[in-house]
Amino acid sequence: MQRPLDVLGAAVEKKILVKTKDGDTISGTLKAFDSHINVWLDDAKVLGDKEMNIGKVLIRGDNIVYISPEK
Amino acid sequence: MQRPLDVLGAAVEKKILVKTKDGDTISGTLKAFDSHINVWLDDAKVLGDKEMNIGKVLIRGDNIVYISPEK
Amino acid sequence: MQRPLDVLGAAVEKKILVKTKDGDTISGTLKAFDSHINVWLDDAKVLGDKEMNIGKVLIRGDNIVYISPEK
Amino acid sequence: MQRPLDVLGAAVEKKILVKTKDGDTISGTLKAFDSHINVWLDDAKVLGDKEMNIGKVLIRGDNIVYISPEK
Amino acid sequence: MQRPLDVLGAAVEKKILVKTKDGDTISGTLKAFDSHINVWLDDAKVLGDKEMNIGKVLIRGDNIVYISPEK
Amino acid sequence: MQRPLDVLGAAVEKKILVKTKDGDTISGTLKAFDSHINVWLDDAKVLGDKEMNIGKVLIRGDNIVYISPEK
Amino acid sequence: MQRPLDVLGAAVEKKILVKTKDGDTISGTLKAFDSHINVWLDDAKVLGDKEMNIGKVLIRGDNIVYISPEK
């Protein structure tokens, strides 16, 4: 039986997109996650009109709407 | 006795629509869900004026307003 | 002694209106509910200027403001 | 020693006003409540410019700001 | 050792101001409170341009920003 | 090992600034706090265009964004 | 196996950026954090048009969107 968090298990060391509750979209390489869906990204960028490189970042799970591995 | 999450149990491998708290509507094929209503979709699209193909996606349950299987 | 959720117990297989936190009003036939006030509706419609038939739907309890059985 | 929920205990079968987090004011006769402050009203109306009779209603406690028994 | 809720313990039967999350300021006489900071006020008024006497009121703790006893 | 709440332990009887979720900045003398970061201030003021002296105040922890002891 | 909070463990005594739910970006030196992602910063500044030095600050974890160590 598959579980939703298997999406993250299969995406470690791969690029993902994270949409946050306040509307930011952040891309980066998934390094680690936990059961709260807290995620650690490397080489992260906040996308948008003013793209911002933020490098390593910890995003709090309960402020995340969705996470999508890059194709 | 039926339970609300039976809607999801019957929709695995079928197309569903997910309305999120920040107003996005996301369509895709339901692959898995859990008791927090976290869902994993494949072939997902964020609908709207600028439709966006996001492929595989994990949507956090507590940011979901409703989920509707396609007819 | 009566409890608030008895309103739902008496409304199974009947039409109800659900007002969600993001302002949508959804009507439909109540099929099932649980203690989190998650509800499953059949023949559901999102009411408003652009009425939208969504058929079967699972609405997450913590995004519900109120539920009213039709008279 | 009195407790805040005694306000509700004394108001059963009486008219109350409920202010919800999304700004609605709903009046009605209190039929039942629980420790989450979920309330069941009969003969309920959503007050405002467009008064709307909704009859029986279950209002979710965590979307309630305050409840005031009518004088 | 003092605790924050001692502010409420010392204010029972006195006038307090309650600021709610949706911006209302409510004054009244504190009758009772609990560990969730649910409060029961008597002779309550919603302050502002249109002052509104609401008499007895139960305000839900998790929708309260701050509570200040009158000087 | 230091912990974040040590910031508060060292600030008792000193002036602090509290930024709340609804955008208010409140200054005052910290009298007590608990593990939920509920705080009790004396001689408190809501800062801004219309500074308002509120004296003693209990601020609910989960509506606090940050707390900064004055330098 | 790495965990998301290892990002913080490696950043103690280093400069970090904190984005809060109400849109503030705060920079400072990380002194301590806990499992709720509450953080204590020293030499903190609220960035933006009106940069504001706030010195020592405790930021509540559940109002944090992301935390990024400076490169």
Residue B1 domain-assigned? no
Q: Which one-letter DSSP state was computed for residue G52?
A: E
* Closest residue of chain F to G61, computed from CA coordinates: F65
> How far apart, in whole angstroms, are the C-alpha atoms of residue F59 and residue F17?
12
pLDDT at F1 over 90: no
User: Cβ contacts (< 8 Å) between D34 and chain C: which residues?
Assistant: 3-5
| Average predicted confidence (pLDDT) for chain C | 95
CB B32 within 8 A of CB B51: no
Q: Does E29 touch chain D (CB under 8 A)?
A: no
Question: Nearest CB to G33: which of F4, F8, F17?
Answer: F4
User: Cβ contacts (< 8 Å) between D55 and chain C: which residues?
Assistant: 68-71
Q: Which has the higher per-residue pLDDT, E15 or F48?
A: E15
- Count Cβ–Cβ pairs < 8 Å, chain D vs chain E: 66
Using CB atoms within 10 Å of the CB of residue A57, give its burial: 0 to 12 exposed, 13 to 18 middle, 19+ buried. buried
Residue B50 domain-assigned? yes
In chain E the first and final C-alpha atoms are separated, in Å, by 23
User: Cβ contacts (< 8 Å) between B7 and chain C: which residues?
Assistant: 40, 56-58
Token pair recorded at residue B50: 């600028």
Subunit contact D60:C37, Cβ cutoff 8 A: yes
Subunit contact A65:B62, Cβ cutoff 8 A: no
Angle at E59 between CA D3 and CA E3, to 5 degrees: 65
| Stretch D38-48: mean pLDDT | 96
Residue C34 domain-assigned? yes
How close, in Å, is residue G58 to chain A by CA atoms?
17
Subunit contact C71:D57, Cβ cutoff 8 A: no
Q: Is B60 helix (H, G, I), strand (E, B) or coil?
A: coil
| Stretch G39-46: mean pLDDT | 98
pLDDT at D1 over 80: no
Q: Residue E24 is part of which domain span? A: 6-69
Report the neighbours of A using a cutoff of 3 or more CB pairs below 8 angstroms: B, G
How close, in Å, is residue A55 to chain B by CA atoms?
23
Angle at C39 between CA C36 and CA C41, to 5 degrees: 180
Q: Does D12 touch chain E (CB under 8 A)?
A: no
User: Cβ contacts (< 8 Å) between B64 and chain C: which residues?
Assistant: 60, 63
User: Cβ contacts (< 8 Å) between F68 and chain G: which residues?
Assistant: 44, 54-58
- Give the distance, in angstroms, between the CA of residue D66 and the centroid of all CA atoms in the same chain: 8
| Longest distance between any two alpha carbons in chain F, whole Å | 42
* Closest residue of chain B to A7, computed from CA coordinates: B58
CB A37 within 8 A of CB A67: yes
User: Cβ contacts (< 8 Å) between G7 and chain A: which residues?
Assistant: 40, 56-58
Q: Does G1 touch chain A (CB under 8 A)?
A: yes
Question: Nearest CB to D40: which of C4, C37, C70?
Answer: C4
**Tell me: the pLDDT tens digits for A19-37?**
999 889 999 999 999 999 9
For residue E50, the model assigns a pLDDT of 87
Subunit contact B67:C58, Cβ cutoff 8 A: yes
Closest CA to A1 of B14, B35, B33: B33
User: Cβ contacts (< 8 Å) between C59 and chain D: which residues?
Assistant: none
> How far apart, in whole angstroms, are the C-alpha atoms of residue E61 and residue D67?
12
Residue F13 domain-assigned? yes
**Tell me: the pLDDT tens digits for D14-24?**
999 999 998 89
Residue E18 domain-assigned? yes
Give ipTM to 2 decimals.
Answer: 0.92
Question: Nearest CB to G7: which of A21, A24, A40?
Answer: A40
CB E16 within 8 A of CB E40: no
> How far apart, in whole angstroms, are the C-alpha atoms of residue G63 and residue G59?
8
**Tell me: the pLDDT tens digits for F2-61?**
999 999 999 999 999 999 998 899 999 999 999 999 999 999 999 988 899 999 999 999
Question: What is the domain count for chain B?
Answer: 1
0.90 surpassed by pTM = yes
The CATH number covering residue B16 comes to: 2.30.30.100
Question: Nearest CB to D4: which of E20, E58, E63?
Answer: E58
> How far apart, in whole angstroms, are the C-alpha atoms of residue C49 and residue G26?
42
For residue D3, the model assigns a pLDDT of 95
Residue B26 domain-assigned? yes
Closest CA to C58 of B3, B35, B58, B4: B4
Question: Nearest CB to A22: which of G4, G65, G69?
Answer: G65
Question: Nearest CB to G54: which of F37, F64, F68?
Answer: F68
pLDDT one digit per residue (tens) for chain A, 71 residues:
799 999 999 999 999 999 999 889 999 999 999 999 999 999 999 998 889 999 999 999 999 999 999 87
Question: Nearest CB to F56: which of E61, E64, E68?
Answer: E68
Residue E1 domain-assigned? no
Using CB atoms within 10 Å of the CB of residue C41, give its burial: 0 to 12 exposed, 13 to 18 middle, 19+ buried. buried
How close, in Å, is residue F62 to chain G by CA atoms?
8
In chain C the first and final C-alpha atoms are separated, in Å, by 23
Residue C1 domain-assigned? no
Report the neighbours of C using a cutoff of 3 or more CB pairs below 8 angstroms: B, D
CB G50 within 8 A of CB G18: no
> How far apart, in whole angstroms, are the C-alpha atoms of residue E36 and residue E61?
6
- Residue C6 phi, psi dihedral angles, 5° rounding: -60, -25
CB D70 within 8 A of CB D47: no
CB D34 within 8 A of CB D16: no
Q: How many CB atoms lie within 10 A of CB C48?
A: 11
- Residue C68 phi, psi dihedral angles, 5° rounding: -130, 120
Per-residue CA distances from B63 to A58, A61, B67, C59 (Å): 19, 11, 11, 12
For residue B1, the model assigns a pLDDT of 74
SS3 letters for chain F? Answer: CCCCCHHHHCCCCCEEEEEECCCCEEEEEEEEECCCCCEEEEEEEECCCCCEEEEEEEECHHHEEEEEECC
Chosen for mutation from D19, D26, D27, D33 (greatest number of chain E CBs closer than 10 Å) is: D19
For residue G19, the model assigns a pLDDT of 96
